[in-house]
């Protein structure tokens, strides 16, 4: 059964179609109207790693569309602690649900799960590997702000070595002709194999350690957290923990239409002063996870989104 494990599972045309469906579903995501397209369907949420936005947005997306959700819950309270293998867990949830959203600390786990079950798998993050549903909501947010995805100048900053969101997004952006600038400390630079792959795709990329010098040319600045939990050595983490801190005063010469994004949670890399500027888009970005995942689940389950959602839905009193 097809799923979404990496962005390579989608053509550019499919990406645009899913984003178009998401745009039409916005009134449903906002809770203004009700359209039970997924009534009778069950989403299995398997989160083997902590998550707030991804897990809750998947739940909200399914419930807004009239479906139900079952959760693995705290791994410490599951059969995983008894030694149950990932294969057996997936086989079990495969029988309980119609579609599965999964996050796992091991890179490649999502593909392994997809090979082991019959229902579609949505990769909600596999270690430092891929996070395609985050990429889709990121693309939706960029298009929402700029009206297009093509030929933008996008700066990805922070932890590019371990940051799966940056890995997936950079691959997608170059497919739409974007110029991608990787801003990071050398120890957290984008893995060479990912850069090589992007270049093979014909992507236009640059690397820098100087984030501030890129601000006035950027259409999008995508900040990421330095991920302490990915570091095998805490001393190495402390060396780069405060590498970048974006303040409102740094944005004086930015383009008026530039946006600042962040997959969240943030720590100190975006100062609260940025929240009040016109550039801040990260909380809207987090909400967009609901509508984009609604569209993705409809697509994977073969449920069409009406061309006129307003006419097909009911007003919520």
The 3 state secondary structure assigned to 180-230 is EEEECCHHHCCCHHHHHHHHHCCCEEEEECCCHHHHHHCCEEEECCCCHHH
State the pLDDT confidence band at 130, using cuts at 50, 70 and 90.
confident
- Distance, in Å, from the CA atom of 12 to the CA atom of 148, rounded to the nearest integer, reads 13
Q: Higher pLDDT residue, 164 or 146?
A: 146
Mean pLDDT over 209-229 rounds to 88
* For residue 97, cis peptide bond before it (omega within 30 degrees of 0): no
**CATH 3.40.50.410 at 7-130+289-315, yes or no:** no
Task: Evaluate whether 294 touches 28 at the Cβ level (below 8 Å).
Answer: yes
pLDDT digit string, tens, across residues 253-285: 999 999 999 998 888 899 999 999 999 999 999
- 44 is written with which tokens? 């299995």
Domain covering 132-284, topology: Rossmann fold (3.40.50)
Query: Tokens 């229902």 sit at which residue?
Result: 119
How far is 219 from 176, CA to CA, in rounded Å? Answer: 14
pLDDT tens string 187-207: 888 999 999 999 998 999 999
Largest Cα separation within the chain, whole Å, is 58
| Predicted local distance difference test score (pLDDT) of residue 77 | 46
Cβ atoms 300, 293 nearer than 8 A: no
Burial class (CB in 10 A: 0-12, 13-18, 19+), 35: buried
Instruction: Cite the active site residues.
Output: 53-54, 82, 103, 131
| Residue range(s) occupied by CATH 3.40.50.1370 in the chain | 7-130+289-315, 132-284
pLDDT tens sequence across 13-32: 999 999 999 999 999 999 99
């Amino acid at each position: 059964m097809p799923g979404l494990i990496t962005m390579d599972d989608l053509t550019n045309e499919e990406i645009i179609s899913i984003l178009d469906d998401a745009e039409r579903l916005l009134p449903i995501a906002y809770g203004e109207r009700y359209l039970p397209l997924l009534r009778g369907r069950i989403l299995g949420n398997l989160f083997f790693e902590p998550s707030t936005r991804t897990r809750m947005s998947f739940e909200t997306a399914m419930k807004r569309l009239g479906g139900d959700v079952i959760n693995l819950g705290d791994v410490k309270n599951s059969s995983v602690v008894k030694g149950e293998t990932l294969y057996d867990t997936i086989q079990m949830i495969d029988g309980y649900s119609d579609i599965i959203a999964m996050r796992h600390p091991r890179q490649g786990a999502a593909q392994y799960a997809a090979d082991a079950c019959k229902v579609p798998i949505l990769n909600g993050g596999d270690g430092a590997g891929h996070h395609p549903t985050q990429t889709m909501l990121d693309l939706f947010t960029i298009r929402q702000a700029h009206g297009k995805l093509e030929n933008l100048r996008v700066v990805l900053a922070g932890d590019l070595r371990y940051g799966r969101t940056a890995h997936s997004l950079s691959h997608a952006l170059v497919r739409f002709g974007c110029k991608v600038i990787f801003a990071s400390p050398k120890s957290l630079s984008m893995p060479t194999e990912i850069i090589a792959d992007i270049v093979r795709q014909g992507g236009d990329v640059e690397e820098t350690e100087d984030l501030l010098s890129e601000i006035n040319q950027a259409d999008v600045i995508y900040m990421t957290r330095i991920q302490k939990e990915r570091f095998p050595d805490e001393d190495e983490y402390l060396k780069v923990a405060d590498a970048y801190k974006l303040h409102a005063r740094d944005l004086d010469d930015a383009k008026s239409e530039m946006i600042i994004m962040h997959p969240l949670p943030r720590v100190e890399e975006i100062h609260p002063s940025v929240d009040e500027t016109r550039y801040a888009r990260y909380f809207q970005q987090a909400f967009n996870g609901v509508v984009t995942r609604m569209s993705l689940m409809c697509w994977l389950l073969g449920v069409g989104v009406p061309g006129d959602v307003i006419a097909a839905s009911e007003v919520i009193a």
